[in-house]
Chains A and B, each alone.
Chain A
Amino acid sequence: MDLKDKLVSSFLAFENRVDNDAYVHDVRSDAIKIFEENGFPSKKEEAWKYTSLNSVLKHDYSLFPKREEALDYRDVKKYFIHEIDSYKIVFIDGKYSSHLSQTTHDGMDVCLMSAALSKPKYRLVIENYFNKAASKDSLTSLNTAFSNEGAFIHIPKNKLVEKPIQIVHFSTGSEAATMLQPRNLIVVDENSHVQIIERHQSLTDNPVLTNSVTEIFANKRAIVDYYKIQNDNLNASLIDNTFINQKRESHASVHTFSFGGKLTRNNLNFFQNGERIDSTLKGVTIIGDKQHVDHNTLVHHIEPNCESHQDYKGIFDDNAVGVFNGKVVVEKEAQKTNAFQANNNILISDKATINTKPQLEIFADDVKCSHGCTIGQLDESAMFYMRSRGIPEKEAKGLLMYAFSNNVLSSVKIPEIKQRITKLIANKLGVNIGFDL
Chain B
Amino acid sequence: MRGLRRWLRLVAVVLILAGIVTAIAFPQAAWNAIQLPLFAFFSTTRMVIAYLFALVFAIAYGHTAATNKRASAALLPLLDVLQSIPILGFFPAALIFFVATFHGHPIGIEFAVVFLIFTSMAWNMAFGVYESLTTIPADLEAAAASFGLRGWLRFRYLAFPAAIPKLVYNSILSWTNGWFFLVASEIFSAGGTEFQRPGLGAFIAVAGRNGDVPSIAIGIGVLAAVVLTLDIFVWRPLGAWSERFRMETAPGREIPRVPSPYERFRWLPRLPKVRKRIIARVQPAVERYHRLSMRFERAYSRHPKALREIRRVDLALFAIVFVVVVATGLVGLVQMFLRPLPPNASVLPSAAVLSFSRLLVAYAIALVWTIPVAAMLGESEKAARYLTPALELFASLPATALLPVIVGFALLIAPSVGAAGQLAAILIALFSMQWYLLFNLIAGVRSIPDDLKEAARSFGLRGRAYWKRLLLPAIAPSLLTGSITAWGAGWNALIVSEYIQYAHQFYEVPGLGSLLNHAVYPTPDNEMLLLTILTMIVVVLAMNKLLWRPLFRRASTRFRLEV
A, B bound: no
A-to-B contact residues, CB < 8 Å: none
